[in-house]
Each structure stands twice: as C-alpha cells, then as structure tokens.
Amino acid sequence: MIPIKISIGGFVLADIFYTLYQDKFDKYYFSKVIEKGTQPEVNISSLQYISQPEIVEHFKRIFKPYKNQSLYHVICGERGTGKTTLIKAALKEDGQGVIYINIPTNLNKLDETFNKALKNFKILPSGSLLKQIAQKILYFKTNSKTVIKWEDNLEAFKNGAKRYKMKHGTPPVIIYDNVDRLVPKHAEVLDILQEDAKDNADDMKYIAVFVSNKTSALKRMKSRTNAWTRVSKPVVEINNLSKEESINYLVNKRGIKTMKEGKIDITEAEKLYELVGGCIMDLEAVADEFLNLKQSSEEIKQQKFIEIDNEFNIAKLHKNQPNHEAGKHIIKTLNSNGMLDYLTYSKLFNNPEEANKVLETNIFAYNPIKNIITFNSRAIECYIRENAGIFI
C-alpha cells in the first residue's frame, strides 16, 4: 500500500509543479511576443500611399501609453479615410508593445486571426497533467496544430501583459481593427472585448484601441454606458483629405507620367475632386478609372450617378416611392445645414426599422459620436444638385 500512496503523491506533486511551470512559461512567452510587437505589411504602392505624418505621430503616441493610464481608445472614420493604412504605418515605425488584430470578414476565422497575431504560438496543453493523462487514456484526440480559441488567446495576452508591464513600466496595447465586422451577427464578441478593455484599463494592465467606421458597431459601443465611460475623449476621428491634399494627390502622386499611365492636369483634378471629395478610397478609384481605363471625368461621373440612382431606388427615395417625402425633407435640411440630428431624422419615417434600412444604403451617413446624419459622400451631393427638381 505504501508504494501506491507514494506513487499517487508523486503524481499530485508533479501535477502541481507542471501547472506552475505552464503558467510561468505562458507569461514569459507572451511577454516576449508583446515586446516584439506587430509590424503588419502596408500593402499599398508608393504612388497610392498618402503620407499624413501628423496622424501617424498621433497614433504612435496612442500606442505608447503612460504607466497608470486607465482609459482605452476608439478611432473612427468614414469608409476609405485610410485608418488602417495609417495605423499600419505607425506600427511599421514602432510596433514594440503593440499587438494588432484585424477582425476578419469571415468570422469563422476569428480564432485563427488571434492566433496568427500572437505569432502562431503553441502553448503547453491546457489543464493539469493528470487531466491530460486522463484525456489520453479516454482516447481524446489531441492535435498540436489545433488553433487556440480567441478567448484563450486573449487570456494568454493578459498574462504576458502583466510581465511586460513589470519589465517596461507601461502597459502594452492591443488594437482591434475593423470591429464593424462583428455587428450584428457577433455583437456579443464586441461586447466582451469592450468590457474586458474597460476592466483592464481600470486595472491599468493593458490598453485596447478599437478601430471602427461610423456605423452600428460604434453606436453599440456608445450605448454600453458603463464601458463607454473609460473611453479616452474626444474620440479620435479620421476625416477626409482637404481639397489641397486631394488635388496634390491626383496631380503630383497619381499624375506622374509613365509609359502605362497618362497625366491628370489641374482642370481634370478639380472635376474629379468635385465629384468624390477627399475620400482616399474614392480618389484612388477615380484616378485608376481616368488613367488606366482612359475614362473622361464626365464618363466617370455618369457611371457614379447610375450607381447612386440604384441606391436611391433601393432606399425607396425616388418620386412615387414610399420614402420620397421623408427623403426630400432630409435632403433639404442637409443642403441648408450640412447635418440633421438623428431623432428628427428617425421621426420622418413610419417606423425605426425603415429609418435604419435607409441608412444601410450609401446615401446618408450616421455619426454615432455626434448623433447626426450627413450625406454619405460628395458624389451623393453632386447627384442631388443635378437632380434638384426632384429632391429639393
């Protein structure tokens, strides 16, 4: 009987030592991963990249929190303002202590995305040594290539964050880019990330940065009042380029003469800017159409108008459609004031669902930070001016 007791005691003791070793190993490994940080590739050509040094420097300051920081950050901007590119540019210059998570379009790959961001780590099998032996006896399948769940990745990051702060004196940063992809189908994941960001900001363990378009994701985050109290304010908003910056891009960046491309002169650049404004994504698109597809500015405008006309049809805003009168009221107000408060906007429709459906088209844009409605793009404004008899 004594040898059996000694054997059981030995197993228990080994189990305790293994668990302690596992915890120490995980903290050490992730501290090293965090130290190295993320330096994601900026997949954009030099001709397309628009340098915005002031924003990049601001991001670099955000990514270097002070020792006792107790607030997390939100960065927002309309589609195509270059948020992701500028964040990656900042990390390329100095990504130490920062982990970058780009929420995938296919959310079934969320676990894999977290795992890849943390350098495809292979943690020791979770659980006690006795549990693992039992699993093998019961023929549980084990696979060293199994992707760790995102929740376990986050816990491992927090373990590493504690060690990182002890060594460097400041909390590490984790960036969640494109969080809009979590809403509405996986909104609970966004809720968990936000709540955890708030708790860990309170405890000064790590600082989270959420990157979002001005969409329902931002609206949901703001509605969670308790968690929103720990957001650093004002929220960082990335706006479109100015007219000067846009013209400079079209003429001096994209207008360089090459064997493959022509040249965009000042006159054509002015026309293109008046059509799409300072949205980087739209400027890139019209420059490609003008230079590579050899389309004139008028041809580009007509194609844009066809697309916009279809959006108006989907939103039921055309004459003799159900939302035409509400649309006219909104358009007149936006033409006069440039904005409309969301409550007034929603009251113009028969029900909130219809108001939200119209927002899902690309005609109007909702800013949840300011709680206002604006036109979604310069092209929409241009379309309305040329169809003033219908809408104004």
What is the spatial distance between Cα 207 and Cα 197, in angstroms, rounded to a whole number? 7
Contact 15, 245 (CB under 8 A): no
pLDDT band at 52 (very low <50, low <70, confident <90, very high): very high
Contact 364, 375 (CB under 8 A): yes
**For residue range 266-294, what is the model confidence (pLDDT) as tens digits?**
999 999 999 999 999 999 999 999 999 99
The amino acid at residue 386 is E
Average pLDDT on 140-163 reads 77
Predicted local distance difference test score (pLDDT) of residue 258: 46
**For residue range 190-239, what is the model confidence (pLDDT) as tens digits?**
999 999 999 999 999 999 999 998 778 999 999 999 999 999 999 999 99
Average pLDDT on 132-140 reads 45
pLDDT over 90 (residue 242)? yes
- Kindly report the number of other CB atoms within 10 A of residue 294's CB atom: 10
Q: Token pair for residue 85? A: 């590119």
Domains plus CATH for the chain? 13-238 (3.40.50.300), 240-295 (no CATH), 307-391 (1.10.10.10)
What is the spatial distance between Cα 29 and Cα 38, in angstroms, rounded to a whole number? 15
Contact 207, 69 (CB under 8 A): yes
Contact 371, 344 (CB under 8 A): no
What is the spatial distance between Cα 271 and Cα 304, in angstroms, rounded to a whole number? 13
- Kindly report the number of other CB atoms within 10 A of residue 174's CB atom: 29
CA distances from 95 to 75, 125, 168, 284, 350 (A): 17, 29, 14, 27, 50
Whether the ω angle into residue 234 lies within 30 degrees of 0, i.e. cis, is yes
Average pLDDT on 102-124 reads 82
- Average confidence score pLDDT of the chain: 86
